[in-house]
Structure 1
């Protein structure tokens, strides 16, 4: 690769890891897979193109499919001049992406819905969006939901987010994930249409309650 001398044109691996909220090793794997453009200095230090990082974030912030694009932040906030309410759904099933999107459009039009299809992308988007509401499936490609939740809970900014978990696992099957689910509202996917709206409304009420 052609080496770029301008420091403003690149990041170090550590800088990208901090920016995306990932481990350094995860960033190195992204480079190896060709997801980020990188080269090495004569001293052997890896440099990653800022443009490729911006492109990666932009691609992950746009859900796949025409209807999905309407779900990803196109709903304007209800009050001009106020910060929009954002929800990040981390879910790999297109069916449940569509179902959650439909519920939010119908019952919570004031909330911008953004979608990540795996845990690694979800971590990056969480750091970028700082959503008030986080809806996470336990079983995810890339990084499982329990590990993702544990990682996010270790961050100070996570205290500002309302967390909901959706899963196809029944109560007995969720036992191995109890360490991550303690105190977290859980929606069983077969009852998502019935259970998600009231739980999300409670989250909205907490966010909008006077300080």
Structure 2
């Protein structure tokens, strides 16, 4: 929250921020709601954004491509350097579940580099910054859920080599109502069977090793 000393020249509206960043107003709103760009509301309910926060986001690597991903349902990501390890992006909004993943996967002795995002929009930003080898996505989350992220990956030719697994407590009928399990996507019901997940991650690591030879 800015103090009363903040002048009008130091802040901007959502529309002005969208113009500066070259993205839509709705994309700016999503960035604000995700806590990625600082903002507050006036007593009249109008959102105000510090110009410094807008320019700081604009200078972040991958910010422009991530903004486009939010608008057009796609992601543009540069290939990861070959380091012999498998990059795994875990999209999960439940803190306890993230801790369970970290504890389990950290004990397997596999060459995994784990990154965690607690919502779908942050996940798109991460994909834009550094293309992961594997995405493990929870389905039901507030805002942009894991299913939307999965569809974004599947529709982007640049991400066709990303291995995708979805995790959900939804039953078969509920999954069908959301469009079903996409072809090529692995499904793990909650509570997660970590023995099965370990086997999947081992296979992903083996694939990564073959591709980097």
Bin the TM-score by the shorter chain: 0.5 to 0.7
Is structure 2 residue 3 aligned with structure 1 residue 2? no
Indicate conservation of the 8 Å contact 2:167/2:188, yes or no: yes
Instruction: Give the helix-richer structure, 1 or 2.
Output: 1
How far apart are residue 37 of structure 1 and its match? Answer: 5.8
What secondary structure, in the 3-state scheme, does the structure 2 residue paired with 1:148 have?
helix
TM norm structure 2? 0.65
Tell me the alpha carbon deviations over residues 97-150 of structure 1, each in whole angstroms, 9 at most, x when there is no partner: 111111211114421111110111111111112111110011111112222211
How far apart are residue 12 of structure 1 and its match? Answer: 6.8
What secondary structure, in the 3-state scheme, does the structure 2 residue paired with 1:114 have?
strand
2:46 is aligned to none
Indicate conservation of the 8 Å contact 1:150/1:180, yes or no: no
Indicate conservation of the 8 Å contact 1:149/1:180, yes or no: no
TM norm structure 1? 0.66
Aligned pairs, number: 170
How far apart are residue 24 of structure 1 and its match? Answer: 5.2
Indicate the larger mover: 178-187 or 124-133: 178-187
Indicate conservation of the 8 Å contact 1:118/1:143, yes or no: yes
2:56 is aligned to 51
1:103 is aligned to 104
Higher RCO (CA-CA < 8 Å; seq separation 6+):
2
2:183 is aligned to 182
Indicate conservation of the 8 Å contact 2:134/2:162, yes or no: yes
Distance in 2 (alpha carbons) for counterparts of 1:88 and 1:155: 17
How far apart are residue 189 of structure 1 and its match? Answer: 1.7
Distance in 2 (alpha carbons) for counterparts of 1:106 and 1:93: 20
Indicate conservation of the 8 Å contact 1:146/1:181, yes or no: no
How far apart are residue 182 of structure 1 and its match? Answer: 2.6
Indicate conservation of the 8 Å contact 1:90/1:122, yes or no: yes
What secondary structure, in the 3-state scheme, does the structure 1 residue paired with 2:142 have?
coil
How far apart are residue 95 of structure 1 and its match? Answer: 1.8
Q: CA RMSD for the aligned pairs?
A: 3.4
Q: 1:179 to 1:17 in 2, by over 3 A?
A: farther
Structure 1: segments with no counterpart, 5+ residues = 5-10, 39-46, 58-80
How far apart are residue 164 of structure 1 and its match? Answer: 1.0
Distance in 2 (alpha carbons) for counterparts of 1:132 and 1:92: 20
Structure 2: segments with no counterpart, 5+ residues = 1-7, 40-50, 63-81
